[in-house]
Structure 1
Amino acid sequence: MADFHGFPVAALDFYDDLEMDNTKSFWEAHKGVYNESVKAPMVALTDALAQEFGAAKVFRPYRDVRFAKDKTPYKTHQGAFVGVGPATGWYVEVAAPGVRVGGGVYEASGPHLARLREAMAEEKTGKVVQRILRDLERGGFELAGERLKTVPRGYDKEHPRIELLKMKTVLGMRSYGFEPFVHTAELLDRVREDWRRLRPLVTWLGDAIAE
């Protein structure tokens, strides 16, 4: 297992350039930069975190354009995900804007969304996740996710957690941007600490959605 030394500046520059020239010819000419400056550090980072959090899926760089209007072939970021349940777990990403981390549930529908809302609506479990989210926001995380504009069917608009019940996905995110430490081994400690802070949310969501 290779040691992690941070993402080099070349990784961010690679995605800057890819956003301007998202073509196969650019990719083929710069594939070595991607492998050495993006993929290899991401694998080293997630390998170093695996003992505590589990094995990560390092996403492929290719976009699925079969049903997309946007036919550009390559993703303009490199992400990795450690799952603990259906679409639930921890995330780390490098892209032109820098590095960011997060955790939560990024897709919930049908029975999973129904169970999630039931847990949010229930007095005891709902207050627990409210407290978790409040603590994360106070700790500098951004609460993100897809949200309904209207009240979900079957729930009272006066419910004390109605804004939470409107959420279809729930994510705690933090951006490191261009901070100098993203280019050093210190980034590993930062990601590990933030994933630990996100553990209560990830665990709560995993338990709520589990069948």
Structure 2
Amino acid sequence: MSTTIPEEVLSFLKDLEKNNNRDWFNERKSEFKAVKNEVKIFCNALLTELNKHDKIENMKLFRIYRDVRFSKNKMPYKTHLACSFRRLKPELRGGYYLHIKPNNESFIATGFWDPNKDDLMRIRKEFEIDATEIKAIMEKESFKSVWGTIKGDELKTAPRGFDKGHEAIDLIKKKQFVFTKKFTDEEVMHPDFLKNVDASFKAIRPYFDYMSDVLTTDLNGVSLL
């Protein structure tokens, strides 16, 4: 069983981008199912690899159909295929994401996309008390060479109750705590893609260990589990 992303996947998505309508798609339903199955096989193989060094609670392959009810963009189909992996809660926090899109727009992402209100406040309070450890993790070369710098939406100013002059205000202002890594089409189709994605996800582990510890303890370091 193949664990690579074949060229047919990217080709189909390229054609879909040019022909994003139901008639075209319905005529090629069998082709889409084959393409989707290739991505599913890859995601299941990645799940197996992740479980060798992590504990994954759930793997989800996202639907190709767009929800256009409240969107100005009425195109019925996404022009990418993606899957996500959720770590075992409540002790392990964070998740992994794989996004396959042609024209060198594929990427992987990891971190915290939408922390709830309590988790966001807990993270911000930790950074307010001492951001030394998280900054040291993110600045380590073995980490930064893979994931670069932290990304995510943020407030324009300090959250209510926080000092806008705080030395870690760049982190405290964030609403998301995400890292991304891009891949070319050639890299996606390469036989080593699975190994490279898994190695990249493995490199995020110090960050996840830190954030999981923060989110499962109170400000005194006492376990909440």
Q: Same fold (TM over 0.5)?
A: yes
State the secondary structure of the residue aligned to 1:72: coil
| 1:141-156 matched pairs, under 5 angstroms | 141-156=148-163
C-alpha displacement of 1:89: 0.5
| Contact persistence 1:105–1:202 (CA under 8 A) | no
Comparing both structures, which one devotes a greater share of its residues to helix? 1
**1:42 corresponds to:** 39
**1:116 corresponds to:** 123
C-alpha displacement of 1:119: 2.3
| 1:39-87 deviations in Å (ceiling 9; x for gaps) | 2232222222323242411111112222222222211211111112598
State the secondary structure of the residue aligned to 2:204: helix
C-alpha displacement of 1:140: 4.9
| 1:56-75 matched pairs, under 5 angstroms | 56-75=59-78
TM-score, normalising length: structure 2 = 0.80
**1:199 corresponds to:** 205
- CA RMSD, Structure 1 to Structure 2 (Å): 2.3
**Structure 1 unaligned regions, length at least 5:** none
**AA aligned opposite 1:30:** R
**2:97 corresponds to:** 91
Name which of 163, 167, 178 aligns with 2:170.
163
Structure 1 CA distance, aligned partners of 2:129 and 2:23?
54
| Contact persistence 2:102–2:185 (CA under 8 A) | no
| Contact persistence 2:68–2:76 (CA under 8 A) | yes
State the secondary structure of the residue aligned to 2:125: helix
C-alpha displacement of 1:142: 4.7
| Contact persistence 1:147–1:169 (CA under 8 A) | yes
TM-score, normalising length: structure 1 = 0.85
Structure 2 CA distance, aligned partners of 1:209 and 1:61?
33
**1:134 corresponds to:** 139
| Larger Rg over CA atoms | 2
**1:100 corresponds to:** 107
Name which of 205, 208, 211 aligns with 2:214.
208
Structure 2 CA distance, aligned partners of 1:139 and 1:187?
14
**AA aligned opposite 1:114:** M
**2:219 corresponds to:** none
| Contact persistence 2:103–2:185 (CA under 8 A) | yes
**Percent of aligned pairs sharing the same letter:** 27
| 1:100-136 deviations in Å (ceiling 9; x for gaps) | 112101112422221221222221xx22222222233
Structure 1 CA distance, aligned partners of 2:137 and 2:29?
41
The answer to which of 19-28 and 152-161 deviates more is 19-28
**AA aligned opposite 2:183:** Y
